[in-house]
Chain A
Amino acid sequence: MGGLQNYIIRRIILMIPTLIGVTLLIFAITQVLSPRQRAALYVTERTVGQIDDVIKKYHLDAPFYVQYFIWIKEVLHGNLGWSKKFTSPVLGMIISRAPASIELAMVATPVIVLSGIFLGKLAAVHRDKAIDHISRATSIIGWSLPSFWLGILLLAIFYSGLGWFSPGRLGDAATLYVTNPSNNFKTYTGMFTIDGLLNGQPWITLDALSHMILPVVSLTVQIVALIVRVMRSTMLEVLGKGYISAARAKGLNPKEVVNKHATRNALLPVVTLAGMLTAGLMNGVVITEIIFRYPGLGQFAATCAVPPSDLPGVLGFALFAGVLFVVANLVVDISYAYLDPRIRLG
């Protein structure tokens, strides 16, 4: 598949200017503040008199490009700033919080993808019949629900009302267990579902999973709604194409035509939706985690954002999210080229 390899290489090269642009944009946002305001991020109430020294030391009044080079050098060395609210380096916080959010995303993604594609396909194939209307109505309702409100409602019903689930990442018993040094709980991946099994304590895995159910539901509803809508419309478009009737003329029954011919072509635009899925997940965790008190990246970002805002935290997180998203889009584009041979030439 020479064409595919060339495409991959080309695409990776194209990614580099975009990454540079991403860093430039975040840097430009920091420049909105005057040097004094930025210096204020480095001082506390006690050291407030030293603001002018801080400005000189960090070259906060130097020309734009000089500051950018200093800044980007720091970033590439892993220094994303210091978060006052959490009193730790931003990058360190991001790394320590990442596994929790990745866990959520990992559980949410298959649910979203499978149900979205399935429902969308169903709606298109049974167009204008009852299933189509129900599916579209649920999709529109899901699309209109504010995710933060849904999270609160879920908490109200299932936590306050029924008492089945509770916020947070682990229950009290599990938390006591993992923090007790004598139990020797090794965190291999930082994800309690996997670590629970690796440590031979499956009940911790179950506990973690039960705490993930509500956040995952809250995350998926909005995104699934979007996928169903797009899948339905691309499926409808594909079903009207010539090769569908040609396939019927070959003797394939309607179900086979849908599964073998229509789906593969309809999936193509949906794969680009995977990019939207990643964005949706990233946006979603910020809101969901703070509602469910889930200690992941989203909670970090949201806590930093709440006024008075912890700017290094917010901006560091934004930079991280931007880079991650660019890489995710790269993966999406490559899978698109794998599925659709026409793209490889372009």
Chain B
Amino acid sequence: MKKDAILSVDELKVRFYTYEGIVKAIEGVNLFVRKGETLGVAGETGCGKSVTGLSILNLVPSPGKIEDGKIIFSKDGKQIDLLQQDEQYLCALRGKDISMVFQEPRAALNPVYTVERQIGEVLILHRKEEIVGRVIKQLRKDLEKENNPIKRFIYKTELGLYKKMMKNSRSLYLKAASKIPIIRRYEHRLWKEIRKEVIKILKEMEIADPERVVDAYPHELSGGMAQRVVIAMALACNPVLLIADEPTTSLDVTVQAQVLDLIRRLKEKFGSSIIYVTHDLGVIAELCERVAIMYAGSICEVADVYELFKNPLHPYTRGLLEAIPHPDKPFKSIKGFVPNLIDPPSGCRFHPRCPYAMDICKQIKPKIREIKKDHFVACHLFGES
């Protein structure tokens, strides 16, 4: 794995088993992300960029299956293959070390729970020690000051319950306790702490009125506000890597600009790496340091963003950049259609549409190679065949 890369995807293969046939959605994707950098993954709809993001967290929905490959994540100085880990390990990882933000903000929020409850859920899952620790400290202070024997008894029982929570928040004992009417009041302290923390997080998301938003239900929030809440949920535990799957696509342009701004500022503040999946080259130019272009399930080109826009090497990248409408130039598009992934073209999947296609392109799939420093291309036009 490259040095100072925190995540590396090696030869990922994902297939979907449908009635019409086997969709070879991802065929050998190679990527890596460095610490603190924003990697853009760009491509047309259906090229597999979302599936790549989901595969990192092993959340590919059925009938999809990850067939092959390695996803190496650097955690606590060790290199761990995420695809080999069991569900329990991944559950501890998701939301804490690697978070994901989806495209439709209001769809990602459960309509029957308030914002406080939903962000609080992430806090309880991953920052339990910190928050319960605070509750216990406060409880101990209250216990010292209190003389009333009844209240002392109540505090002592609460203390016992919270100590249990510290050890194992999923224990059956606690679950039962939270169903019994009077006893469940012990949770009030916890939710008070959580509320404070959630308001703090919302303020960091630059939400103007956190007190109101905290109690709101998702259908009461605007699109931009909802997306900020979702981002807040993702960043609540300071993840090392944030996977953003077209988070601004469903928002209108002004709100989109605000959210992008926010993401940029948060990146600086928290130092997280971001994998930003999108089809919008403009957003990539705004936000990302490196870009990976994907087509029909594999990576065509990866480079520094300035380098890519200045010197696109892969014919597909060149086609994409030429297709950006410009007032002075005639309108140009890439001829042909996105291929059917049940029966993809042989060799290089782009060859039917490529103006520079050679015989070898129909037969052998080009491997991705470092042509210049930090500029990778998968094309037979470059490098030795």
Contact = CB atoms under 8 A, between A and B. Distances in A.
Direct contact of A and B (CB under 8 A): yes
Interface of A: 241-243, 245-254, 260-261, 264-265, 268, 339-342
B126 A242 contact: no
Contacts of B99: 249-250
B26 interface: no
A342 B111 contact: yes
B93 A243 contact: no
B109 A251 contact: no
Given A249-B102, A251-B122, 5 more contacts: A242-B107, A249-B100, A261-B110, A341-B112, A342-B217
Nearest to B216: A341
B88 A246 contact: no
Interface string B76-111: 000000000001100111111001101010011111
B112 A242 contact: no
Interface string B204-227: 000000000000010100000000
B126 A243 contact: no
28 contacts: A242-B102, A242-B104, A243-B110, A243-B111, A245-B59, A245-B61, A245-B102, A245-B108, A246-B102, A246-B108, A246-B109, A248-B59, A249-B95, A250-B95, A250-B99, A250-B121, A250-B233, A251-B92, A251-B96, A253-B87, A254-B87, A261-B110, A264-B110, A265-B110, A265-B111, A339-B112, A340-B112, A341-B217
Q: Contact residue range for chain B?
A: 20 to 34
A248 B122 CA distance: 11
The 7 closest A-B pairs by CB, nearest first: A242-B107, A251-B95, A246-B108, A251-B94, A249-B100, A250-B95, A243-B110
Given A250-B122, A265-B112, A243 B107 contact: yes
Nearest to A241: B107
A114 to B, nearest CB: 15
B239 to A, nearest CB: 10
Chain A: interface secondary structure?
Answer: helix
Given A341-B217, A342-B219, A249 B110 contact: no
Interface in B60-81: 61
A339 B112 CA distance: 7
Contacts of A247: 110
B379 to A, nearest CB: 34
A251 B217 contact: no
Contacts of A264: 110, 112
Interface in B104-142: 104, 107-112, 121-122, 125-126
Contacts of A254: 87
B276 to A, nearest CB: 16
Given A246-B102, A246-B109, A261-B110, A252 B219 contact: no
B57 interface: yes
A342 B114 CA distance: 12
A260 B170 CA distance: 13
B107 A249 contact: no
B219 A249 contact: no
Which of B87, B96, B108, B109 has its CB near the most chain A CB atoms (within 10 A)?
B108
B94 A248 contact: yes
Contacts of A241: 107
